[in-house]
């Protein structure tokens, strides 16, 4: 990390916790956060708890986001939520293209550009998640997959939007497995993403885009990850569910 981009630590709670534990957790994080001037911290609770969690976070620098959106603002899309709905309950950001959405729920690349665009249009900050499967890595296709996912998700993004866009590199094989990518694998993937951004957008406009690493981040490996030049933060799943593990990650770069 270097380069003037504010470190970003994001906690994806997935389909975990219950209302009481979610509120306890957000209160504890809020109490430890400080004024937020030296880092950005956000949590992504299950959507049914968003309004309550956002109400606790209100007035603090904590960000609160959805784990997914659909690419329409309203309509007959049972089970889905839109950027406008997220905004209305106090969320200011969303994950898009998380590997569990892609690989468990079959969300295709073709949806990603529309989701990122609708988020931006709805004043919701997208964290666009990309990453290769183990088979793709073994077949030496990591770069190709990353670029394909970038092409899809960033298709309708303009230079002037880039300040609001975050990209999370999350190798599928490292998510929830305890197997963290090696520092070299992370550095190589992030360098690929940076280079792709610089060649598809105005170089200066692409500078503020933050690149997060996700995949079994823990208090044990966070500091080394933050030490990599192109890692501007982390997206944390399992370790974001407890203050004992999430707070040391938030504070790892201090």
* Cβ contact 92:84 at 8 Å: no
Query: Cβ closer to ligand PEP: 175 or 189?
Result: 175
Counting contacts by CB under 6 A, is residue 217 touching ligand PEP? yes
- Binds ligand PEP by CB under 6 A, chosen from 53, 62, 91, 175: 175
Beta carbon of residue 234, minimum distance to ligand PEP (angstroms, whole number): 8
The full length of the chain comes to 254
Distance in angstroms (rounded) separating the CA atoms of residues 109 and 116 = 11
Distances (CA, A) of 208 to 46, 138, 187, 222, 246: 28, 32, 18, 21, 25
Question: Does the annotation count 98 as an active-site position?
Answer: yes
- Binds ligand PEP by CB under 6 A, chosen from 17, 209, 235, 249: 235
Counting contacts by CB under 6 A, is residue 247 touching ligand PEP? no
Of 53-61, 152-160, 182-190, 232-240, the window that binds ligand PEP (rule: CB under 6 A) is: 232-240
Counting contacts by CB under 6 A, is residue 97 touching ligand PEP? no
Per-residue x/- marks for ligand PEP, 1-40, CB under 6 A? -----------x-x--------------------------
Counting contacts by CB under 6 A, is residue 216 touching ligand PEP? yes
Alpha helices by DSSP H, 122-242: 134-138, 142-153, 183-200, 203-206, 222-226
* Cβ contact 40:235 at 8 Å: no
* Cβ contact 33:11 at 8 Å: no
- Binds ligand PEP by CB under 6 A, chosen from 170, 230, 232, 253: 170
Question: End-to-end distance of the chain based on CA atoms, in angstroms?
Answer: 12
Beta carbon of residue 250, minimum distance to ligand PEP (angstroms, whole number): 14
Catalytic residue among 40, 100, 132, 170: 170
Question: Does the annotation count 110 as an active-site position?
Answer: no
In Å, the largest CA–CA distance within the chain is: 48
* Secondary structure (3-state) at 163: helix
Counting contacts by CB under 6 A, is residue 237 touching ligand PEP? yes
**What CA dihedral angle connects 36, 198, 173 and 119, to 10 degrees?**
60
Of 73-81, 132-140, 198-206, 234-242, the window that binds ligand PEP (rule: CB under 6 A) is: 234-242
- Give me the residues that bind ligand PEP (CB under 6 A), please: 12, 14, 170, 175-176, 214-217, 235-239
Provide the annotated active-site residues: 98, 170
């Amino acid at each position: 990390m270097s380069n003037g981009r504010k470190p970003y630590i994001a906690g994806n709670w997935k389909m975990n916790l219950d209302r009481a534990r979610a509120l306890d957790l957000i209160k504890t994080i809020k109490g430890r956060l400080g004024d937020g001037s030296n880092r950005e911290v956000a949590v992504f609770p299950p959507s049914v708890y968003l309004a309550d969690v956002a109400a606790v976070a209100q007035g603090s620098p904590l960000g609160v986001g959805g784990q997914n959106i659909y690419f329409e603002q309203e309509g007959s899309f049972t089970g889905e939520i839109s950027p406008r709905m997220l905004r209305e309950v106090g969320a200011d950001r969303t994950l898009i293209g998380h590997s569990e959405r892609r690989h468990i729920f079959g969300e295709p690349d073709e949806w990603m550009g529309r989701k990122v665009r609708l988020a931006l249009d709805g004043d919701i900050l997208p964290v666009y998640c990309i990453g290769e499967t183990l088979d793709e890595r073994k077949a030496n296709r990591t770069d190709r997959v990353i670029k394909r996912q970038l092409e899809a998700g960033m298709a309708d993004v303009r230079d002037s939007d880039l300040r609001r866009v975050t990209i999370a590199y999350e190798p599928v094989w490292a998510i929830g497995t305890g197997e963290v990518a090696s520092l070299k694998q992370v550095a190589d993937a992030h360098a690929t993403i940076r280079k792709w951004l610089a060649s598809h957008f105005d170089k200066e406009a692409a500078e503020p885009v933050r690149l997060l690493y996700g995949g079994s981040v823990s208090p044990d490996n966070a500091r080394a990850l933050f030490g990599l030049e192109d890692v501007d933060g982390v997206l944390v799943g399992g370790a974001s569910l407890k203050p004992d593990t999430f707070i040391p990650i938030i504070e790892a770069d201090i």
